[in-house]
Amino acid sequence: MTPMIDVVFLLLIFFVVSAAGQPREELLPTELPPDGAVTAANPADRPPQQLDIWLKLRAEPTGTVVNMNGTDYSDLSFLKQQLSTLAELDPTNPVVLDVDNGVPYGDVVDIYDTCTAAGFERIEFAMELDDIAATAPAP
Whether the predicted pLDDT of 17 surpasses 60: yes
- pLDDT tens profile 51-69: 788 899 988 888 888 898 8
> Mean pLDDT, the chain, as a whole number?
80
User: Given this structure, which CATH class describes domain 51-135?
Assistant: alpha beta
Annotated domain spans of the chain: 51-135
Q: How far apart are CA 103 and CA 105, in angstroms?
A: 6
Quick check: helix, strand or coil at residue 114?
helix
> Can you give the pLDDT at residue 36?
66
What are the DSSP E strand ranges found in the chain?
53-60, 63-68, 71-73, 95-99, 123-125
- pLDDT tens profile 67-102: 988 888 888 788 888 888 888 888 888 899 999 888
In whole angstroms, what separates CA 63 from the centre of its chain?
A: 30
Question: Please, which residues bridge with residue 55 across strands?
Answer: 68, 97
- DSSP assigned state of 40: P
